Amino acid sequence: MSESAPPLAAVQTFGLTRFYGAMAALSGMDLTVNKGDLFGFIGSNGAGKTTTLRILATFLAPTSGRAVVLGHDVVKDADAVRHVIGYMPDFFGVYKDMEVTEYLDFFGACYRIPAAQREKTVSDVLELVGLSEKRGVLIGALSRGMQQRLGLARVLIHDPQLLLLDEPASGLDPRARIEMMEILRELQRLGKTIIISSHILSELETICNRVAIIEKGRLIYSGPVQGVRDQMSQGRVVFVRVASDPAHAMALLQASPEVVEVSALDGRLKVTLASHDTDHSIIAARLVQGGAKLVELREEELGLEEVFMRVTQGETQ
């Protein structure tokens, strides 16, 4: 059986660096985003997320290093990059006295979409973001969530292959955030590559297939969501409950070379293993062989948010 072809890169950065005066907003970032990824870009305020997205969108030149978007250098081939991306900043202006369709028709004209095509294009993107019923409404009358969806419709008007979305769910209520994430899932199914930065880590965990963590301008992890838990957390954690003397069970576990730490917590024992490769059935074997009566053994599932808090210091620039 032949091996599957390696994924094709949509975005690659090589030593990407950006200084503001003496402050390094980005320091030697090497990042790869594959075609078809729904890629989560995670970091504290000031970590360098927006700077990275602005460089990829050709709005900001790197101090050194380079970035390539769908085969085009963001500095040397900036015009080509702009035709294949859709960039949605964290704060964007809308013309509140325009109707929804007028607004999108205006941007369609900016992208030189022929007038005969624009009506269908506008209808298609409105349907995609769930705003078909608001086509004749003034933008100022739309809720914040609907305005965010309109902003997404605007960046889709020229059918870009890559979407760069900086905090697209910022300030939205829970329902509007869920609706936004569903739209992003659908766009991924349609073949779009999406880079989304967000502080709503639990939602990124559910929709993204790969993530990157950036702190103080440096990339500290890039890869699958599960990989960040394995690589960044300090060994697997399991919870144990025994029907026998818990002090005896704790002593048995502390004597085990596979165990780093044991602590009592709410009637259970919290056991940190030395390695993610350690099978936690070893813990059960140690207890049973030592005469303890094991009644529960459960592995802790770390959420992406908890891992993020563990591996970043939360410092802003």
* Domains assigned to the chain: 9-231 (3.40.50.300), 234-301 (3.30.70.100)
How high is the pLDDT of residue 309? Answer: 66
C-alpha torsion angle, residues 95, 97, 102, 106 (rounded to 10): -30
* Number of residues assigned to the chain: 317
Q: Which pTM value belongs to this model?
A: 0.78
How far is it, in rounded angstroms, from Cα 174 to Cα 65?
39
What pairs with residue 211 in β-bridges?
A: 40, 223
How high is the pLDDT of residue 120? Answer: 95
Q: Which tokens sit at 248?
A: 């005896």
Decide if 165 contacts 208 (C-beta within 8 A). Answer: no
How high is the pLDDT of residue 132? Answer: 94
Sheet holding 85-88, edge to edge: 85-88, 162-166, 193-197, 38-42, 210-215, 218-224
pLDDT by residue for the chain (317 residues), tens only, comes to 445 677 899 999 999 999 999 999 999 999 999 999 999 998 888 889 999 999 999 999 999 999 999 999 999 999 999 999 999 998 777 788 999 999 999 999 999 999 989 999 999 999 999 999 999 999 999 998 999 999 999 999 999 999 999 988 888 888 888 899 999 999 999 999 999 998 767 778 788 999 998 888 999 889 887 776 666 555 677 888 988 888 898 888 888 888 888 888 778 888 888 776 677 788 888 888 888 888 888 876 666 666 666 666 544 33
Q: Closest Cα to residue 51, out of 202, 208, 156, 197?
A: 197
- Report residue 159 CA to chain centroid gap: 22
How high is the pLDDT of residue 272? Answer: 81
How high is the pLDDT of residue 304? Answer: 63
Name the residue with tokens 């779009």.
192
Q: Which tokens sit at 17?
A: 């660096």
How high is the pLDDT of residue 303? Answer: 61
How high is the pLDDT of residue 230? Answer: 64
Q: Closest Cα to residue 195, out of 50, 39, 82, 69?
A: 39
Sheet holding 9-20, edge to edge: 23-34, 9-20, 64-69, 72-73
Q: Which tokens sit at 85?
A: 């991306």
How high is the pLDDT of residue 277? Answer: 67
